[in-house]
Structure 1
Amino acid sequence: MPQATIAANVQSIDPETLCNICSTLGCAPQDVTEFSPIDEGLTNDSFRFVAAGKPYVYRRPGAGTEKIISREGEAFAQGIAAKLGLDRTFIYENPHQGWKISHFVEGCKPFDYHNTAHVARAMEMARELHSSGVTSKWSFDIFENTAGILKLLNNDEKARYNDFERIRTRIEDLEGRVRATSGAPVLCHNDFYDPNFLVRGSDISLIDWEYAGMSDYASDLGTFICCSDYSYEEAIAVLSKYFQREPTSEELFHCISYVAFAAWYWFVWALYKDQCGDPVGDWQDLWHRYASEYGRRAVQLVHEI
């Protein structure tokens, strides 16, 4: 894009943001130019900028996120992701205010759920994270988090879907059985879906760790699948890539249940975002469909164990 004047660029962001950029990167205000919005994320507001000739991304926390996200937990996980080589873009995050600066990766292409190499690397990254042995004092309990957001929802949002209570009851019925068979929690990303994979050639970085914390390993798999356009058979094939073998009947039930749990969480989250005046669009209906379908499939699998 054409480079604007320094004055126009400086005026396009608030002084506090400009100060954050300059103090983090060690540059002067006149070195910060070429601002442009980034529309990929659903949770936050981000923009690209250039400082001293290099491109970066600045992330601001989105509306209402202070009620559902621990920025300290995110900052911890971002540091771990950088050490593990899972996110090569991270520079700094303020653990209290939640703003973050990262490298902007030029020439990225979209993550493709039907690209064998992309999916294989994503599952490899999930295994690396889950088996890292790193523990965090922050946790992501998908059931407690869903319950917390449900308390924030008004009745009008719930009433928009006539099967809302039916899905909710099915999810809660499945929760008890799944909790009883869950293993020790591991560090998870918990927002493990396509916009958070930056693909450049054969290199992939996993970004945006704001929901990261100790969780059930299947939380990442459930989120990955419920944000896709997979058929049920394709979803099972992805689970096989993660396990590097066919899942056992118990593992299949566990993971399919987590597709429903993740879809239900993100559906409720989407309703909350809509209530806050920041709708997420078609994602909401996709998560509603997966919460319903995979909840039914999980109930069916109970009888096959």
Structure 2
Amino acid sequence: RAYICRIPGPGTEKLINRKQEGEVYKAVTALGITEELVYFNSENGYKISRYYNGARNADYGKPEELSACMTLLKKLHNSGLKLNHEFDFGKELTGYEKDIKDVNAQIPFEDYPLVRMQVSEIMDWLSSLNRPKTIAHIDSVKDNFIFTDEGLRMIDWEYAGMADPLVDLAMAAIYSYMSYDEVKELIKVYAEAPSEVCDDGGIALEALSEDDAFAVVTAYMGMGGLLWSLWGVYKMALGESFGDYTLKMYRYFKDSYKILRKLEKI
């Protein structure tokens, strides 16, 4: 057998809590949806996992593969598994801002003070909804779904925590640079994905109309876009290159805010 060894890159120790990541793997192993983990060090983040010959990343552009990925996400969300930590956008944003400051870098967006006030508007609206929290992957991008000879697997659980399950749909969308019309279709695919425990959208879409679900996912797309734009700023300060990725993510926040205003949610 062949194996893959992960050696975390520079600066990741400030972004990732490896003890929490280890707890996630212990919790989700029973679901049979992760890669086969051989070794995990919660102190330094070193990880050894099985290498799957012939494995490939999912393609969200193929309807059958998108449906398969959403089915796996729905299985995770409706599993009833609990973690001892949450993924909190407010805390994550504050943490990234501090990390950027600690490496003597600047947030390069001129309107960031205004955006930070708009964040509060979105967060207040989301809080008022009292959305359910389930175990969520958070980094549910197409590259973290791999098709193997033994079925579909989800990898890279570094950011996973208890959160609104619709966060996973938002993260899936922005990494693939989906349009907001495509996001409406994504929500439908998730709602219609087969499940062993429910006949509908499950806990993520319970008591939500299509329009309301779109608004919530749009809000998380904005928050996710802003978060990953700051992640990119921090990484670039450490010498990595991301092209126009940070700007595209930042744009998701601005576009999402405009849509939420138009929908009179904020």
Aligned with residue 11 of structure 2, among 64, 73, 81: 64
TM-aligned CA distance change 1:136 to 1:301, over 3 Å: same
5+ long unaligned stretches in structure 1: 1-53
Between the aligned residues of both structures, percent identity stands at: 26
Aligned to 1:272: 234
Contact 1:127 1:242 in 2 (8 A): yes
Report if aligned partners of 1:78, 1:209 keep a CA contact under 8 Å in 2: yes
| Shift in Å, 1:286 | 2.4
The question of whether the paired residues in 1 share the 8 Å contact of 2:18 and 2:45 is answered with yes
1:93-140 CA distances to partner (integer Å, 9 max, x unpaired)? 112221101111222333212111111111111111111111111221
Is residue 71–residue 210 contact of structure 1 (8 Å, CA) maintained in 2? Answer: yes
Ranges in structure 2 where 5+ consecutive residues have no aligned partner: 193-200, 202-207
C-alpha distance after superposition, 1:53-79 (max 9, x if no partner)? x21110012211222211111112123
Partner of 2:154: 206
Structure 1 residue 172: deviation in Å? Answer: 2.2
CA contact (8 A) 1:63 1:278 kept: no
* Partner residue in 2 for 1:43: none
Identify the match of residue 292 of structure 1 among 250, 254, 258: 254
- Write the distance in 2 (CA, Å) between the matches of 1:177 and 1:256: 12
Bigger Rg, structure 1 or 2: 1
Question: Which structure exhibits the higher relative contact order, with contacts defined as CA atoms closer than 8 Å and separated by 6 or more residues?
Answer: 2
**Is contact 1:167-1:295 (8 Å) kept?**
no
Q: Tell me the C-alpha RMSD between the 2 structures.
A: 2.2
Q: Which residue of 1 aligns with 2:80?
A: 133
Question: Equivalents in 2 of 1:208, 1:217: separation in Å?
Answer: 17
* Counterpart position of 2:182: 234
Return the letter of the residue paired with 1:157.
Answer: Q
SS at match of 2:54: coil
The separation in 2 between residues aligned to 1:167 and 1:122, in whole angstroms, is: 32
After TM superposition, the score normalised by the length of structure 2 is: 0.86
- Is the contact made by 2:105 and 2:237 (CA closer than 8 Å) also made in structure 1? no
> Residues 229 and 246 of structure 2 are in contact (CA less than 8 Å); yes or no, is this contact kept in structure 1?
yes
Q: CA-to-partner distance for each residue in 1:228-281, whole Å, 9 max, x for gaps?
A: 132211111001122237943322211110111111111111111112223444
How far apart in 1 are the matches of 2:241 and 2:64?
A: 32
2:253 maps to a residue whose letter is: A
Number of paired residues?
250
